[in-house]
């Protein structure tokens, strides 16, 4: 068993392959955290010395016995409110008569095989029967409040999941004001925070900062996880790097408004809480009702950031995403958005599709503008019928013609939104989020539908079901292009408006649950103005998400690096687009664009009719290479070959098969210099005892002053790991290289 209860010590210990997590039932029933770190056997209660700290109160029962026993200084598994702990609160409830708090004491625990599930929320599942669940029930008898702490343990995957189920055991209504998914107290350590900030077209920029005395907070109040902050962070010790040092990750399986808070207190202890954003949140529980928090995924590694990332990648691919496409080979697609924007008709689309088929593309995606009277972004969202001005014959003949070419067909939708200039809004203005008495803020000239309402969510579901049943659609790109404001629902009473944001997220999940179950053969890709909702909650339903609206490959290097710290490359939507790039105006080589796009779900976003014959031939080669390398690109272990903050003129990464028999190294030169230092790097993840053959070494679009000496055909794994490679000099604008290695047969 990976969960062990020691009745004498009153400790509960969770073991994964490389980590241990321990808690203790305290003398008064408080659930105290004792240890989370590298796997170790033992009783860790003695780590926490009792010390009388001024102005830190003691429970009434212990006054006169030990003034060092205070909730204000001891590490806890779930911090309550108004009970003597002045640090960050995890759970706060208010009774009908105004009593506010959450003083939680142990009631019982249960250890069982399998993985718990959450109601209405995505969560990791147990694909191979290895998971175990620990349930610990705590209660505040005065409030009639019960909190069931849920822990899922994946021993071989090295992850622990956490969630909380809050139940009203009293006889009167109870209002939650905060309900975090987890609380983690780390009494010792000198930590850095690695988080992922950004903005539209510049998502998930990695930033490493020191943990400070006081409170640090990241989050989103946009009713989506947002472009600005991602619901994933890493704590790492000061000396940790990509391949060494203690690292602790926390990822929320949630797509709505969230917060992740850190507080380093007066004694140097660090508290980390994460969950639904508490500002503006409330939830009323009638007697007997329960509330489930979103799931948190915890991982501890002692051997650096690369190892931590790979654990998250595997769990998401194998035990979170339920789509049959999660581990399957996916078609190379071409999306017409940057080729045409809104300006297209049947003939133009078919011409692009025909050219794409000649290049080896397998899926054509028709983007925005095919519906209603949509000729720009100011109308028709909600009117999901065909735009007959652009497509007089409708979608049927277009899809028939595209299928006749041997291509699959995909379609763009934005079903969570509505335009004021639409038939849907004119019929149901109350379906849009708006505060009565004032004009709502607009984003991209559109409003958000109130998905907390069952009739609205059902309409969205039935509309999409109608499209998928009527037309032979192989792929759906699901977009959302604004943050939610003016949060007010005409279907909720005044005292329950604080539930709206979370109810909208639950409404979205309900639609996705039903839709993906009914159409398992359809490949769904998420999008939110690019990467504005790239989170584990969406990945539970969609196997890939459009990473960013910025398709500039040099910008994408940082965006995709930041994304890869938590999310697998197979989930990253990435395309080769035109040069000069539409977002930055930068000119980059066609092959470099392909190298970057191969670090994700590969596709194109350009007009192939505008390419030269030479460029078309290069694309054929790129697609053939992607097909050959597809299993490795989809399932290989990722190794970042450069440190985050080191000065460098290139970005390099490596994928290695599970059996270490095959590897792909990719490198893009971002800053060519007149008199460069040698371009040297050590590879990772290989078998040091094996011999590797260089299958291919391509210096794409790199102007070389003279032909370089060929690299040896055979290397030992040890030589590549410890001595490394020195590559020939690369010149020109943003050249790239890919190196394929395979174990040589004896």
CA distances for 648 relative to 398, 556, 598, angstroms: 49, 17, 22
Q: What is the pLDDT of residues 11-26, one digit of tens each?
A: 999 999 999 999 999 9
Q: Are residues 698 and 612 in the same domain?
A: no
Question: Is residue 718 within a helix (H) or strand (E), and if so which, with residue range?
Answer: helix 717-718
CA distances for 312 relative to 122, 157, 160, 246, 320, angstroms: 16, 9, 11, 16, 10
Residue found by looking up tokens 């507080």 in the block: 263
Residue found by looking up tokens 């989370």 in the block: 36
Domain region containing 717: 640-743
* Number of domains into which the chain is organized: 3
Residue 43 neighbours by CB distance under 10 Å: 16
List the structure tokens of 463.
């509309």
Least confident of 56-70, 235-249, 413-427, 487-501: 56-70
Q: How far apart are CA 213 and CA 298, in angstroms?
A: 23
Q: Are residues 293 and 381 in the same domain?
A: no
pLDDT the model gives residue 707: 61
Local structure of 319: helix, strand or coil: helix
Q: Are residues 650 and 624 in the same domain?
A: no
The burial class, CB within 10 Å (0-12 / 13-18 / 19+), for 564 is buried
Q: Are residues 524 and 651 in the same domain?
A: no
List the structure tokens of 412.
């763009």
Q: Are residues 352 and 497 in the same domain?
A: yes
Tell me how far the alpha carbon of residue 319 is from its chain's centroid: 14
Whether 478 maps to a domain, the answer reads: yes
Q: Are residues 53 and 187 in the same domain?
A: yes
Q: How far apart are CA 484 and CA 507, in angstroms?
A: 14
pLDDT the model gives residue 703: 46
User: How confident is the model over 438-448, as a mean pLDDT?
Assistant: 96
Q: Are residues 714 and 614 in the same domain?
A: no
Q: Is pLDDT above 70 for 129?
A: yes
Q: Are residues 392 and 487 in the same domain?
A: yes
Beta strands in 367-415 (DSSP E): 408-413
Measure the N-to-C terminal CA separation of the chain; round to a whole number of Å: 42
pLDDT the model gives residue 706: 57
Q: What is the pLDDT of residues 663-720, one digit of tens each?
A: 999 999 999 999 999 999 999 999 999 999 988 766 554 545 556 666 678 999 999 9
Q: Are residues 644 and 627 in the same domain?
A: no
Name beta bridge partners: 215.
Answer: 263
Q: What is the pLDDT of residues 541-567, one digit of tens each?
A: 999 999 999 999 999 999 999 999 999
pLDDT the model gives residue 251: 98
**Of 319, 342, 362, which residue constitutes the final position of a domain?**
319
User: How confident is the model over 428-456, as a mean pLDDT?
Assistant: 97
For residue 729, the 8-state DSSP code is P
Least confident of 61-70, 258-267, 492-501: 61-70
pLDDT the model gives residue 215: 97
- HSE-CB of 471 using CA atoms within 13 angstroms: 25
Residue found by looking up tokens 């990253």 in the block: 572
Whether 324 maps to a domain, the answer reads: no
Q: Is pLDDT above 80 for 286?
A: yes
CATH of residue 29's domain is 2.70.98.60
CATH of residue 423's domain is 3.20.20.70
Q: How far apart are CA 144 and CA 163, in angstroms?
A: 20
User: Cis before residue 580, ω within 30 degrees of 0?
Assistant: yes
Question: Is residue 558 within a helix (H) or strand (E), and if so which, with residue range?
Answer: helix 553-564
Q: How far apart are CA 622 and CA 608, in angstroms?
A: 14
Q: Are residues 600 and 687 in the same domain?
A: no
CATH of residue 728's domain is 2.60.40.1180
**Of 257, 288, 319, which residue constitutes the final position of a domain?**
319
Q: Are residues 258 and 188 in the same domain?
A: yes
Whether 357 maps to a domain, the answer reads: yes
Q: How far apart are CA 474 and CA 494, in angstroms?
A: 43
Q: What is the pLDDT of residues 167-177, one digit of tens each?
A: 999 999 999 99
In this structure, the chain runs to a length of 746
- The closest alpha carbon to 583, from 553, 619, 544, belongs to 553
Whether 327 maps to a domain, the answer reads: no
Whether 559 maps to a domain, the answer reads: yes
* pTM, entire model: 0.97
User: How confident is the model over 111-134, as a mean pLDDT?
Assistant: 97
List the structure tokens of 233.
């962070």
Q: Are residues 181 and 41 in the same domain?
A: yes
* Residue 275 backbone dihedrals phi, psi, to 5 degrees: 165, -155
Q: What is the mean pLDDT of the chain?
A: 95
Contacts of residues 438-441 at CB distance under 8 Å and 24 or more positions apart, as own/partner, are 438/486, 440/485, 440/486, 441/485, 441/486
Beta strands in 353-466 (DSSP E): 363-366, 408-413, 417-419, 446-448
CA distances for 605 relative to 335, 337, 414, 608, angstroms: 5, 7, 19, 9
Whether 526 maps to a domain, the answer reads: yes
Q: How far apart are CA 343 and CA 540, in angstroms?
A: 34
Question: Is residue 152 within a helix (H) or strand (E), and if so which, with residue range?
Answer: strand 145-154
Q: Is pLDDT above 90 for 728?
A: no
Whether 387 maps to a domain, the answer reads: yes
Q: Is pLDDT above 70 for 90?
A: yes
- HSE-CB of 432 using CA atoms within 13 angstroms: 29
Q: What is the pLDDT of residues 44-85, one digit of tens each?
A: 988 888 888 999 999 888 876 778 899 999 999 999 999 999
Whether 326 maps to a domain, the answer reads: no
Q: How far apart are CA 367 and CA 335, in angstroms?
A: 7
**Of 295, 319, 343, which residue constitutes the final position of a domain?**
319
- Residues with a catalytic annotation lie at 535, 615
Q: What is the pLDDT of residues 324-338, one digit of tens each?
A: 999 999 999 999 999
């Amino acid at each position: 068993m990976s969960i062990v209860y020691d009745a004498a010590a009153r400790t509960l210990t969770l073991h994964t392959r490389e980590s241990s997590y321990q808690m203790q039932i305290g003398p008064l029933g408080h659930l105290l955290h004792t240890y989370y770190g590298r796997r170790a056997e033992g009783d860790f209660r003695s780590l926490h010395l009792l010390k009388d700290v001024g102005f830190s109160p003691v429970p009434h029962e212990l006054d006169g016995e030990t003034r060092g026993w205070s909730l204000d200084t001891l590490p806890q598994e779930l911090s309550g409110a108004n009970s003597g702990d002045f640090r960050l609160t995890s759970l706060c409830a208010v009774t009908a008569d105004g009593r506010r708090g959450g003083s939680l004491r142990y009631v019982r625990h249960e250890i069982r095989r399998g993985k718990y599930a959450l109601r209405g929320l995505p969560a990791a599942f147990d694909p191979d029967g290895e998971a175990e669940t620990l349930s610990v029930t705590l209660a505040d008898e005065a409030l009639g409040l019960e909190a069931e702490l849920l822990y899922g343990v994946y021993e071989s995957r090295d992850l622990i999941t956490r969630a909380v189920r809050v139940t009203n055991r009293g006889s009167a209504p109870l209002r939650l004001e905060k309900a975090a998914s987890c609380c983690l107290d780390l009494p010792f350590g000198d930590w850095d925070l690695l988080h992922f900030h950004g903005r539209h077209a510049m998502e998930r920029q990695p930033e490493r900062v020191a943990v400070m005395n006081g409170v640090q907070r990241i989050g989103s109040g946009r009713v989506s996880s947002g472009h600005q902050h991602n619901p994933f962070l890493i704590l790492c010790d000061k000396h940790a790097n990509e391949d060494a040092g203690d690292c602790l990750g926390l990822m929320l399986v949630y797509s709505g408004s969230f917060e992740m808070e850190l507080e380093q207190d007066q004694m140097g202890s660090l508290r980390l809480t994460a969950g639904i954003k508490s500002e503006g949140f409330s939830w009323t529980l009638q007697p007997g009702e329960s509330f489930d928090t979103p799931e948190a995924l915890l991982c501890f590694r002692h051997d650096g950031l690369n190892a931590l990332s790979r654990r998250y990648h595997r769990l998401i691919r194998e035990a979170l995403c339920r789509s049959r496409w999660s581990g399957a080979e996916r078609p190379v697609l071409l999306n017409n958005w940057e080729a045409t924007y809104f300006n297209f008709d049947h003939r133009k689309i078919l011409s692009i599709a025909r050219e794409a088929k000649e290049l080896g593309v397998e899926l054509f995606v028709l983007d925005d503008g095919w519906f209603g009277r949509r000729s720009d972004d100011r109308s028709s969202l909600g009117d999901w019928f065909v735009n007959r001005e652009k497509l007089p014959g409708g979608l049927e003949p277009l899809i028939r013609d595209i299928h006749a070419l041997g291509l699959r067909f995909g379609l763009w939708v934005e079903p969570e939104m509505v335009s004021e200039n639409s038939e849907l809004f004119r019929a149901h203005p109350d379906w849009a989020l708006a505060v009565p008495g004032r004009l709502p803020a607009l984003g991209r000239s559109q409003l958000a539908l109130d998905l907390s309402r069952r009739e609205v969510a059902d309409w969205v579901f039935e509309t999409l079901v109608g499209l998928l049943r009527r037309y032979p659609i192989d792929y759906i790109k699901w977009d959302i292009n604004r943050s939610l404001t003016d949060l007010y629902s005409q279907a909720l009473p005044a005292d329950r408006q604080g539930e709206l944001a979370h109810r909208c997220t639950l409404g979205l999940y309900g639609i996705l649950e039903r839709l993906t179950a009914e159409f398992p053969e359809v490949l769904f890709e998420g999008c939110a103005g690019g990467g504005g909702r790239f989170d584990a909650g969406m990945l539970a339903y969609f196997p890939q998400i459009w990473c960013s609206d910025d398709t500039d490959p040099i910008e994408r290097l940082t965006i995709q690096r930041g994304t890869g710290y938590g999310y697998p490359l197979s989930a990253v939507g990435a395309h080769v687009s035109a040069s000069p790039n539409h977002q930055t105006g930068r000119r980059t080589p066609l092959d470099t664009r392909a190298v970057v796009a191969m670090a994700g779900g590969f596709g194109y976003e350009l007009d192939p009719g505008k390419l030269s014959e030479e460029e078309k031939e290069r694309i054929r080669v790129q697609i053939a290479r992607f097909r050959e390398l597809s299993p490795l690109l989809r399932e290989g272990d990722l190794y970042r070959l450069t440190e985050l903050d080191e000065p460098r003129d290139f970005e390099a990464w490596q994928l290695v098969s599970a059996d270490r028999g095959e590897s792909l190294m990719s490198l893009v030169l971002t800053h060519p210099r007149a008199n460069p230092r040698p371009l040297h790097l050590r590879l990772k993840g290989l078998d040091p005892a094996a011999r590797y053959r260089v299958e291919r070494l391509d210096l794409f679009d790199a102007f070389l002053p003279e032909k370089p000496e060929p690299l040896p055909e055979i290397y030992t794994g040890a030589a590549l790991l410890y001595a490394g490679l020195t590559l020939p000099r690369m010149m020109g604008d943003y050249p790239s290289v890919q190196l394929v290695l395979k174990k040589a047969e004896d």
